[in-house]
C-alpha cells in the first residue's frame, strides 16, 4: 500500500512549485502593466483570455481536468488583472473620479422636493435630514422629483429606496439609471402605519383600504385577517389619507401615518397593523451634482452583466481582493434582454480610497455600463 505521508509530501512539493511559478507569472504581469501604462492599452483583453483558455484546456487529458484548468486559469488571470489595476492606481493612471469632494452638504436655505402630499413619510425623512430651514415642495410621482432636480427647480430630492419589511423599491432603482442624478445622503425613519378612517367610522364599517403598494405589503399579515376588504394602491400613503378624507365614505380606510391622519382630519381605527415592530424605510437624498462629503462611507454603483457562468462572481471578486465590505446587492432585469440583469451594489468606502479606485477600475473594464450612483 502506498504510504499516505509520502503522497502528501509529493503534493507539498508540487504546491511549492506552483507557488514559485505563480510568483514568476505575477512578476511578468507587472511588466505587462508597465507596457500598458506606456501604451495606454486596457488591462482586460477578453479575446486574448478566451483564446488562452481554449489553448490551455487542449493540453489536458480528460474533461474533468479540462474544466478544472479553465476554472484555475480564470482565477489566475483575474488575479493578474487585479495586480495590473493596482499598479495602474499606484502610478496615478486611474486619476481622479468625476466627483467633487465637499466638506459638508448644504442643509440650510436649499430647495428640496419630495414625492407625495403633506404628511407623507418622505416629508418626515426630509425634515429629519435637512431640518426646517429649507424651501420644500411636493410632486405626485417619483420621476417628477428627479425631473425637478434635473431641471434645476430643486437642489435635492428625497426618495424611498428600501424598507426593512417589504424590501427594495424597484422603480427607484430604474429611475436612477434614467436620470443623471446622484445619491449624496440617506436617512432612515421608523414607519408606524395606522388604519385611518373618517370621523365616526368603525372597524366593522370598512370595505375598502387604500395605501401605497409598499404600505399594503408591509401590512400584509394584518390585511390577510380582513380578506373582505378591497385593497387599492395609490401613489403614496398620505395621498391615500387625503382620498379617504375627501370622499368622506365610512367604508373606506387608509394605511398611513398618524401625522397624515391629523393633517386630513381622520381618526385612528386600528394601531400596530404592521407585524414588524422595527419597520423602517431608508430614504436617499439625490442631487444633480456629482459631489460627496469628505467623510462619506458608503458607495452605490450599478453595472450590467451577460448571462454567463461566473460573470457575477468575477465582478464581486474585486471587492474581496481590495478588502471592501459589500453591504447590499440587488438586481433588475434589463428591458428587452431576457435573463440579463443590471446589478446594484452598496459597499463601504470613500471615492478617495485607493482600494475603491482599484475596484472601480476593474469593474468598469470588465462589466458593461458601470455607473457610480453616489458616495454618501
Question: Quick one: angle between helices 46-57 and 63-90, nearest 10?
Answer: 150
Supply the pTM of this predicted model: 0.81
Q: Above 70 in pLDDT, residue 96? A: no
Same fold, 100-191+280-293 and 295-376: no
Given a cut of 80, whether residue 163 has pLDDT beyond it is yes
* CA distances (Å), origin 35, targets 9, 12, 38, 51: 40, 35, 5, 21
Contacts of 298 (CB under 8 A, 6+ apart): 186, 327, 346, 347, 348, 349, 375, 376
User: How remote is the C-alpha of 372 from its chain's centroid?
Assistant: 10
What does the pLDDT average to over 183-187? 98
Mean pLDDT of the chain: 93
Query: Mean pLDDT, to the nearest integer, of 180-195?
Result: 96
> CB pairs under 8 A, 24+ apart, for 332-337?
332/170, 332/173, 332/174, 334/304
* Residue 192 confidence (pLDDT): 92
Q: What percent of the chain has pLDDT over 90?
A: 81
Q: What is the pLDDT of residue 37?
A: 84
Out of 89, 237, 281, 364, the active site residue is 281
DSSP letters for 181-221: -EEEEEEEEE---EEEE-TT--GGG--EEEEEHHHHHHTHH
- Among candidate residues 99, 114, 129, 283, the one labeled active-site is 283
Helices marked H in the chain — which ranges? Answer: 4-39, 46-57, 63-90, 121-130, 142-150, 170-178, 213-218, 220-224, 237-247, 258-263, 311-321, 354-366
pLDDT in tens, 249-300: 999 999 999 999 999 999 999 998 997 878 899 999 999 999 999 999 999 9
Q: Which CATH architecture has domain 100-191+280-293?
A: 3-Layer(aba) Sandwich (3.40)
What share of the chain has pLDDT > 70, as a percent? Answer: 99
Per mean pLDDT, which range of 9-13, 63-67, 81-85, 104-108 is the poorest? 81-85
Q: Where are the domains of the chain?
A: 1-93, 100-191+280-293, 194-270, 295-376
232 is catalytic: no
Q: What's the CATH class of domain 295-376? A: alpha beta
Give me the pLDDT at residue 306, please: 83
**Residue carrying C-alpha cell 475603491:** 356
Domain 1-93 falls under CATH 1.20.59.10: yes
* Residue 283: active-site member: yes
Which one of 3.55.10.10, 1.10.274.30, 3.40.190.10, 3.40.50.620 gives the CATH number of domain 194-270?
A: 3.40.190.10
| pLDDT tens profile 321-342 | 999 999 999 999 998 888 889 9
Amino acid at each position: 500500500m502506498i504510504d499516505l505521508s509520502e503522497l502528501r509530501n509529493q503534493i507539498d512539493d508540487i504546491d511549492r512549485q506552483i507557488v514559485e511559478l505563480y510568483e514568476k507569472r505575477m512578476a511578468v504581469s507587472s511588466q505587462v502593466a508597465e507596457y500598458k501604462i506606456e501604451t495606454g492599452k486596457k488591462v482586460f483583453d477578453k479575446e486574448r483570455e478566451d483564446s488562452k483558455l481554449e489553448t490551455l484546456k487542449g493540453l489536458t487529458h480528460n474533461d474533468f481536468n479540462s474544466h478544472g484548468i479553465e476554472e484555475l486559469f480564470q482565477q489566475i488571470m483575474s488575479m493578474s488583472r487585479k495586480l495590473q489595476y493596482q499598479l495602474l492606481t499606484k502610478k496615478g493612471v486611474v486619476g481622479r473620479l468625476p466627483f467633487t469632494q465637499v466638506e459638508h452638504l448644504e442643509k440650510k436655505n436649499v430647495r428640496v422636493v419630495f414625492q407625495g402630499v403633506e404628511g407623507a413619510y418622505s416629508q418626515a425623512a426630509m425634515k429629519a435630514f435637512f431640518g426646517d430651514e429649507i424651501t420644500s415642495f411636493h410632486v405626485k410621482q417619483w420621476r417628477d422629483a428627479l425631473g425637478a432636480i434635473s431641471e434645476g427647480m430643486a437642489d435635492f430630492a428625497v426618495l424611498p429606496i428600501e424598507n426593512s419589511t417589504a424590501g427594495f423599491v424597484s422603480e427607484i432603482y430604474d429611475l436612477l439609471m434614467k436620470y443623471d442624478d446622484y445619491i449624496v445622503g440617506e436617512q432612515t425613519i421608523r414607519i408606524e402605519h395606522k388604519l385611518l378612517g373618517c370621523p365616526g367610522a368603525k372597524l366593522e364599517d370598512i370595505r375598502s383600504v387604500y395605501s401605497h403598494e409598499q404600505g399594503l405589503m408591509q401590512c400584509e399579515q394584518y390585511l390577510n385577517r380582513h380578506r373582505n376588504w378591497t385593497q387599492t394602491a395609490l401613489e403614496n400613503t398620505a395621498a391615500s389619507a387625503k382620498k379617504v378624507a375627501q370622499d368622506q365614505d365610512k367604508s373606506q380606510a387608509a394605511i398611513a401615518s398618524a401625522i397624515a391622519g391629523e393633517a386630513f382630519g381622520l381618526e385612528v381605527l386600528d394601531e400596530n397593523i404592521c407585524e414588524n415592530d422595527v419597520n423602517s424605510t431608508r430614504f436617499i437624498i439625490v442631487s444633480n451634482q456629482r459631489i460627496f462629503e469628505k467623510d462619506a462611507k458608503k458607495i452605490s454603483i450599478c453595472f450590467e452583466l451577460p448571462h454567463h457562468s461566473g460573470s457575477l462572481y468575477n465582478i464581486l471578486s474585486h471587492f474581496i481582493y481590495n478588502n471592501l465590505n459589500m453591504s447590499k446587492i440587488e438586481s433588475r432585469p434589463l428591458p428587452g434582454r431576457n435573463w440579463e440583469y443590471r446589478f446594484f451594489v452598496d459597499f463601504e468606502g470613500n471615492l478617495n480610497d485607493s482600494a475603491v479606485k482599484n475596484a472601480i477600475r476593474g469593474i468598469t473594464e470588465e462589466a458593461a455600463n458601470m455607473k457610480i450612483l453616489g458616495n454618501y
